[in-house]
Amino acid sequence: MHLSPTAMQTDGVGAKAQSLGYVVLLATTTAISGFLFGFDTAVINGVLLLLRHEFSLSNLQTEVAASSLLLGCLLGAAGASMVGDRYGRKKSLIFSAVLFALSSLGAAAASTVVLFSLARLLGGLAIGLASVLTPVYIAEISPPKNRGTLVSLNQLAIVIGILVAFLVSWQLSRIGTNSWRWMLAVAAIPSIAFLVGLLAIPESPRWLLSKGRHREGERILARIFGAKEAEEQVRAVERAAATEEGSWHEVFSPRMRKRLNVGMALALFSQITGINTVLYYGSIIISEHFPGESTGMALAANVIIGTVNLVFTIVAMIFLDRWGRRAILMIASGGMGLSLTLLVIGLNIQGAPAALMLASILLYVAFFALGMGPGPWLIISEIFPTKVRGRAASIATSTLWSGTLVVTFTFLSLVKVLHLWGTFAIYGALSFVCFVYVWKAVPETKGRTLEQIQEALSK
């Protein structure tokens, strides 16, 4: 049958739409790990209020209970490169799905704070693995012009998980002192859904090519990009791989130093600017430091915070591929600094209304979600060469979790010494430092293939 040029053009558009739909399906499936990441990290916000009462926890014990997951995240991220590079992105994510399920059920059944912390540590290992490998997998299957949006699906899933955790905590808190167990146990459902979804998706084609499995890699790329472009992608990956060793020596080589510094710095700034104090301790902050606010109101305020986080993550997904990474990161970090300045001023005004301070927190969360939430994950997934992407991303992500662990483990102690306003003044100052760093040091990666980014950064 002979096709007219118009028909061929229409068929080509349809094929592109079909392949993009397939990529979105793959990205959405792997991004379920982001939902679990967000839920498991944020559910502690509601759990802590009840856990402190049931086990009579001190501030230090509360910090340990909150931080045990984050220690697991750090360890999981540190080992993600060895697991992901050896066994592949898909198998490693399947392992994380199993850990997610075991952790949620184990923490829900815990009879002591020690058992609770150990179960949460297991969940942290799952999050650490997934936080490295999910953005990497999505970046490795995505067309350049859609990569920012598609990688940000993971961040969108994270903030949806956070919002759902806040909603679940708020609603389940009504059933009594044991409601914290149900808050944790419900995460087993999406964990199983994640596991089932992973069984149906292919391995990362770039990982397959890096392992010499060219036929499998090219077949998956052809499904995504079409046969002709797949051949070009294979050649580009092979050219790039020819100049890569894929060793730890290369990760720390002089030509990788700037990329590693950028990845680690952005990862660290995204945490030491304080966002997780709001996400993990928000209910304690509002109920204990804002005048006239009950526990129920604090949990309800968390839902508002989670909603703002979700809305502005969607805004970020729209503009990351239009405005570029640097512009959004600068707007976000500068806005976070200004928002925290307003909060510090409000905390120092006698009788300042709680609504004013809550508005400052919401503005701070909005700016974080706009840039410092998705931006570092996206850039980390883009700037490293294929053969060392897993290892380098593991280092950057381990740095992120180190920052999260330090902030979470020290927050209540800092508030006791410096008061709430002094603690947030530190986070505000670090937000302005982040603005300057992005302006001076972060490269733009918008609209380039992963291989083009490597060429540009190698000059």
Q: Which residue has the higher pLDDT, 318 or 121?
A: 121
What is the distance of C-alpha 193 from the center of its chain? Answer: 19
SS3 category, 440: helix
User: Considering its fold, how many domains does the chain have in total?
Assistant: 1
Degrees (nearest 5) of the Cα angle 180, 185, 191? Answer: 140
Amino acid at residue number 13: V
Q: Tell whether 218 is covered by a domain.
A: no
Does residue 423 register a pLDDT over 80?
yes
Q: What is the pLDDT of residues 103-138, one digit of tens each?
A: 999 999 998 888 999 999 999 999 999 988 998 899
* Number of other CB atoms surrounding residue 206 within 10 Å: 27
Q: Tell whether 232 is covered by a domain.
A: no
Does residue 149 register a pLDDT over 90?
no
**Distance (Å, whole) CA 402 – CA 445:** 26
Instruction: Count Cβ atoms within 10 A of the Cβ of residue 226 and give its class: 0-12 exposed, 13-18 middle, 19 or more buried.
Output: middle
Q: What is the pLDDT of residues 234-283, one digit of tens each?
A: 777 777 666 655 677 777 888 888 889 999 999 999 999 999 888 777 77
Structure tokens at 3: 């096709």
DSSP code of residue 444: P
Residue 388's pLDDT is 80
Q: Tell whether 212 is covered by a domain.
A: no
Q: Tell whether 139 is covered by a domain.
A: yes
Instruction: Count Cβ atoms within 10 A of the Cβ of residue 319 and give its class: 0-12 exposed, 13-18 middle, 19 or more buried.
Output: middle
Domain that holds residue 115: 20-201+243-458
**Distance (Å, whole) CA 143 – CA 128:** 26
Q: What is the pLDDT of residues 16-75, one digit of tens each?
A: 556 778 888 999 999 999 999 999 988 887 788 788 778 877 778 887 888 888 889 989
Amino acid at residue number 409: F
Amino acid at residue number 285: I
* Number of other CB atoms surrounding residue 56 within 10 Å: 9
Give first-to-last CA distance, the chain, whole Å. Answer: 49
What is the mean pLDDT of the segment spanning 355-373? 91
Q: Tell whether 344 is covered by a domain.
A: yes
pLDDT over 90 percentage in the chain? 35
Does residue 228 register a pLDDT over 50?
yes
Query: In the structure, what pLDDT confidence band is assigned to residue 298 with cuts at 50, 70 and 90?
Result: low
Q: Using the structure block, give the residue that is written with the tokens 């592949």.
A: 88
Residue 250 is part of a domain; what is its CATH number?
Answer: 1.20.1250.20
Residue 367's pLDDT is 96
**Distance (Å, whole) CA 158 – CA 31:** 8
Q: Tell whether 195 is covered by a domain.
A: yes
Q: How many CA atoms, within 13 angstroms, populate the side-chain half-sphere of residue 47?
A: 28
Does residue 289 register a pLDDT over 70?
no
Does residue 7 register a pLDDT over 50?
no
Tell me the pTM.
0.76
Q: Tell whether 284 is covered by a domain.
A: yes
Residue 296's pLDDT is 62
Residue 3's pLDDT is 39
Q: Tell whether 5 is covered by a domain.
A: no
Residue 293's pLDDT is 53
Give residues with Cβ within 8 angstroms of 345, minimum separation 6. Answer: none
